[in-house]
Amino acid sequence: MALRFPPGFTWGASTAAYQIEGAGPPGSRGTSIWDTFAARPGRVRDGDNGDLACDHYHRYPEDVQLLEALGTGAYRFSVSWSRLQHAGRGPLNQRGIDFYSRLVDALLDRGIEPWVTLYHADLPQPLEDAGGWPARDTALRFADFAAAVHHFLAERVTRFITVNEPWCSALLGYASGEHAPGRTDPAAALRAAHHLLLGHGLALEAIRSIAPAQAGITLNVAPVAAATEHPDDADAARRVDGLTNRLFLDPVLRGEYPEDVVRDLSPLSNFGFTADGDLAAISAPMDFLGINYYAPQKVYGTPDAPPVEQPSRYPGMDRLGFHHTGRRTAMGWSIDASGLTGTLTRLTRDYPAIPLYITENGAAFDDEVTGGQVLDHDRIDYLDEHLRAAHAAITAGADLRGYFVWSLLDNFEWDQGYSKRFGLVHVDYASQERIPKLSAKWYRDVVQANGFD
Ligand code: IFM
């Protein structure tokens, strides 16, 4: 069925610094927690790391041309904190400023609006050594960094995302240890979550003090359902929804932590890390909320739950089963676009009056290059279904203003290294050749039509 998005709808593609840039010339980037983590045996699949990645540092002109060919009016990328401040504090490094200036200018020359994410997973290692996100000072350092970045970009960039997916940085980084810095300390993970949110609030204030900007945070929001009607499963679903979604949405959009989640977590923490004024800073009005959507989750909490599929990411919940059913991506994640409609309508109902952007949505598949082509019909199907689901939410009243595909390029998928390919553009990591996949051509047509015929 033909379908059109609202006039002025933003179309874009997303990436993140550590996942694509590579280190660049020797000495041009400080060490981040991902460099350290990737150097530890067994932490990243196949021993991969971000030393070269897509070598975007050198190849950004070609990547900007790929974006131009897609026809998207927007590009979301992150700035590397450890490139701009090797130690996570002090004046910005000139080589880093020059790199991002060149990138921003190249985008603006082609009429592509830069959407800059200020923090996307790559904390400078010296700040981790000083306590990392569980330490309050990291939030203050981040606000200084955000102000300095806005200072040099202010005349060219007006769209900022403060923090990407604080859930991942806090809970995968400090509770389950699947992501850098690889700590397994649930109480520290809760402090990290609070300080990531505080960093967001302080950064918002700092960047607005420099020049007007449109700014928001990006949260990974996922629908969580009980696997059965058993009360233990229902309670597990409530708790996981609390820890995945409401622990972040409520402070940002309501200025409070959800009571039931605070109660659940009381054996681990009394939330004494929340100082006077923190929640006011965290809930300062934003211009938009960014949503990263990939898959719904089904949760078991019964004693006879199927075995846990991963180390516990949920502080205070050690026995927990997750199931992904039906069609899945190469990540093993369920494909269920109705979860996106549900997420957007839930946000509209429970947290009204905030414009929404899907800042990431996409899927990894085991793409094959045949005769110089990648015919990724499975990715096209995934994107098609999710865009239709997003459109259904708009029809139902969601104030959705834009959509960014994850990702422009195949890239370093964190603990999965280069084994998972999310890009619209295939990257041959040995030669660094880029091949736009069939999905890139498909997306170009969607962008051009502002929908589907
Ligand atoms: O690659 C990541 C990205 O860095 C953050 N959101 C999820 C993507 C896929 O896992």
Averaged over 442-450, what is the pLDDT? 98
How sure is the predictor about 309, in pLDDT bands with cuts at 50, 70 and 90?
low
Known active-site residue 360: yes
Averaged over 189-203, what is the pLDDT? 98
205, pLDDT greater than 90: yes
* pLDDT tens digits along 416-431: 999 999 999 999 999 9
| pLDDT recorded at residue 230 | 92
- Measured in Å, residue 15 CA sits from the centre of ligand 1 at 9
Q: Which residue has the higher pLDDT, 2 or 20?
A: 20
Half-sphere exposure of 188 (CA within 13 A, CB side): 18
* pLDDT tens digits along 363-390: 999 999 999 999 999 999 999 999 999 9
Atom 4 of ligand 1, nearest CA residue:
16
Mutate to test the pocket of ligand 1, among 360, 404, 420 (most ligand atoms within 8 A of CB): 360
| pLDDT recorded at residue 283 | 98
Q: Domain of 242?
A: 3-452
CATH number, position 47 = 3.20.20.80
| pLDDT recorded at residue 229 | 92
- Measured in Å, residue 411 CA sits from the centre of ligand 1 at 10
198, pLDDT greater than 80: yes
* pLDDT tens digits along 65-86: 999 999 999 999 999 999 999 9
According to DSSP, the β-strands at 159-164 and 400-406 are unpaired
Q: Please tell me the distance from the alpha carbon of residue 143 to that of residue 141, in angstroms, as a whole number.
A: 6
225, pLDDT greater than 80: yes
Cα-based distances in Å from 116 to 104, 198, 389: 10, 19, 26
Known active-site residue 113: no
440, pLDDT greater than 80: yes
305, pLDDT greater than 70: no
| pLDDT recorded at residue 322 | 72
**What share of the chain has pLDDT > 70, as a percent?**
98
Burial of 286 (0-12, 13-18, 19+ CB in 10 A): buried
pTM flag (> 0.85): yes
Atom 5 of ligand 1, nearest CA residue:
165
306, pLDDT greater than 80: no
* pLDDT tens digits along 310-336: 678 888 887 677 777 789 999 999 999
Average pLDDT over the chain reads 96
Mutate to test the pocket of ligand 1, among 405, 406, 418 (most ligand atoms within 8 A of CB): 406
Structural domains of the chain, count:
1
Averaged over 202-206, what is the pLDDT? 97
Q: Please tell me the distance from the alpha carbon of residue 380 to that of residue 439, in angstroms, as a whole number.
A: 5
Set 21, 128, 178, 360: catalytic member: 360
| pLDDT recorded at residue 308 | 59
Amino acid in position 43: R
Instruction: Give the atom of ligand 1 at the shortest distance from the alpha carbon of 362.
Output: 9
443, pLDDT greater than 90: yes
Instruction: Give the atom of ligand 1 at the shortest distance from the alpha carbon of 414.
Output: 1
| pLDDT recorded at residue 319 | 65
| pLDDT recorded at residue 315 | 87
Ligand 1 cavity residues, CB under 6 Å: 16, 19, 165, 292, 360, 406, 413
